[in-house]
Structure 1
Amino acid sequence: MAWLAGVDGCKAGWIAAMASADGRAAPLIRVMPRFADLFAGEIVPEIVAVDMPIGLPDRVKGSGRGPEQAVRALLGDRQSSVFAIPARCAVEAGDYEQACALALAHSEPPRKVSKQGFHLFPKIREIDALLRAEPSMREHVFEVHPELAFRTMKGEPLTHPKKIKGVVNPLGMAERQGLLRAAGIAPEAVSARLPRGAAGDDLLDALAALVVARHIAAGRGKPFPNPPGRDSHGLPIAIWTFASATPPHRIEP
């Protein structure tokens, strides 16, 4: 049986929503300290959709990588959730000041690094190291963005933010929960008890990533840009969502 996973970063490491490709059972919710742990258990997913940048250019032109620039226009008031990820050398920097200096030197126009983006760098490096060491995995791990996934589910930008000034917004959470249920995610998964080290919005984002993974498995995956770019190490540079009608290509259970 083929398995799929939607993954998001969380305080304890990574939260994964795992389900069989046939969609018959509610997703299993797991938290693991390392991204590589996802591939070391009894259940190894065939497709992983993860809310984390993959593929780092050596130089950036404009407000972040190409995928980030491409999807922001689709998100309406939610576009600020798409952080601008800088050049590889800045992501590999050891501290914030060094990262800003390297980002300035390797971007046109020169741009520093946001503090929110900087806090993602350890997790970006974790996936980057794994995919560079295991090239065969590059065709199985897809970068997604939850706000783009939810926007695709709804068909238009979302009405409510999931957080306001860092505090969870009940209206935003309820809007996203409804979209997940409408997309076929079991209600018990949408309202599942949170594992230690993960927040409620982390769970919803992982489930949104799982929705995209299901569409990718069915041949409905849609990358921005199309076709995806590649960085100097051969890693894909694209944010994936889904289209409603393309020829199916299912993974056989």
Structure 2
Amino acid sequence: MPDDYPDGSATVVRGVDGCKAGWIAVTITAAGPIEPQVTVSPRFADLIDGAGIIAVDMPIGLPERAGAGGRGPERHVRPYLGERQSSVFSLPSRSAVHMLDYWEACKVALETSDPPRKVSKQAFFLFPKIREIDQMMRADPTLGRRIFEVHPELAFWRLNGETAVALPKKVKSLVHGSGLALRRAILVNHGFPEPFLDKAPRGAGADDLLDACVNALIARRLHAGTARPFPDPPLSDAFGLTVAIWA
């Protein structure tokens, strides 16, 4: 944990998730009672300052070639998630992720995967956010000490007694009330005030808010040194970025 934050930001952690308006961030102290603050920003870079540890639900560390089942982290976490494992998508190569056109991305993905595989539209819509983080962290390697990849469903698994949440957050792209209620209960059990969880800010969905909250709790575990990487030990990509999902 970095200790060179004279402004006190080392005592603050942040969970971040992608949302319609860009990024939603929930900020809490690294220990003690949870008094959360929420922010929505169009740029991930705007969320870097003011927190010692940032846990974000977005891939960090991209493969030069994609294998069956995705990167090591995807293959390692799926068995823990039961029916929720479909929420962990396989990442194509870095060169495919950096294509701006869908069909070009599919072409490059086919050329840089074994077995050959195209890109799903759902994954392609995430590429701008993945590129944003990839470019920023390659430009400033010191960010690897502060920014960590997480996955909300693995985070809920960890905080739910290492049991996957039984119901999904969404069904056919619509929020699933019972699934959200289960996740709210887990967050309340870990100290989040219930009223905070009831209304998402403008530009973010109810599920985005809960994901940012659970990511913030994993940021606390990272700060305390109790988070575990999947795989363990972590891998690294061609640029030295850590490749692991933490929980």
* TM-score of the aligned structures, taking structure 1 as reference length: 0.91
Partners of 2:221 and 2:55 in 1: CA distance: 10
Q: How much does 1:161 deviate?
A: 0.5
**Contact 2:34 2:192 (C-alpha < 8 Å) held by counterparts:** no
- Counterpart AA for 2:25: A
- Counterpart AA for 2:166: T
- Counterpart AA for 2:196: A
Partners of 2:132 and 2:180 in 1: CA distance: 28
- Counterpart AA for 2:245: I
1:165 maps onto 2:193 in alignment:
no
Q: How much does 1:186 deviate?
A: 2.4
Q: How much does 1:111 deviate?
A: 1.2
* Matched ranges for 1:126-141 at <5 A: 126-141=132-147
Q: Which residue of 2 aligns with 1:22?
A: 31
Q: How much does 1:25 deviate?
A: 4.0
1:152 maps onto 2:158 in alignment:
yes
**Contact 1:15 1:206 (C-alpha < 8 Å) held by counterparts:** yes
Partners of 2:139 and 2:197 in 1: CA distance: 34
Partners of 1:23 and 1:207 in 2: CA distance: 15
Spell out, residue by residue over 1:31-80, the C-alpha distance to the aligned partner (whole angstroms, 9 max, x if none).
1110010124xxx1100000000000101221211101111111100111
- Counterpart AA for 1:111: R
**Contact 1:26 1:188 (C-alpha < 8 Å) held by counterparts:** no
Aligned-pair RMSD on alpha carbons? Answer: 1.1
**Contact 2:72 2:231 (C-alpha < 8 Å) held by counterparts:** yes
* Matched ranges for 1:80-99 at <5 A: 80-99=86-105
- Counterpart AA for 2:14: A
| 3-state secondary structure, aligned to 1:73 | helix
- Counterpart AA for 2:20: K
**Contact 2:33 2:191 (C-alpha < 8 Å) held by counterparts:** no
Please point out which of 193, 197, 201 is paired with 1:186. Answer: 193
Spell out, residue by residue over 1:171-207, the C-alpha distance to the aligned partner (whole angstroms, 9 max, x if none).
100000001111222223222x322111100000000
Partners of 1:130 and 1:170 in 2: CA distance: 36
1:101 maps onto 2:107 in alignment:
yes
Q: Which residue of 2 aligns with 1:124?
A: 130
Q: Which residue of 2 aligns with 1:199?
A: 205
Q: How much does 1:23 deviate?
A: 3.1
- Counterpart AA for 2:174: V
Please point out which of 237, 240, 243 is paired with 1:234. Answer: 240
**Contact 2:48 2:54 (C-alpha < 8 Å) held by counterparts:** no
Calculate percent identity across the aligned residue pairs.
Answer: 52
| Equivalent residues, number | 237
For structure 2, the 5+ residue unaligned runs are 1-7
Q: Which residue of 2 aligns with 1:34?
A: 43
- Counterpart AA for 1:204: L
**Contact 2:34 2:191 (C-alpha < 8 Å) held by counterparts:** no
Please point out which of 8, 11, 14 is paired with 1:5. Answer: 14
Partners of 1:22 and 1:187 in 2: CA distance: 18
Q: How much does 1:97 deviate?
A: 0.8
Q: Which residue of 2 aligns with 1:244?
A: none
- Counterpart AA for 1:213: A
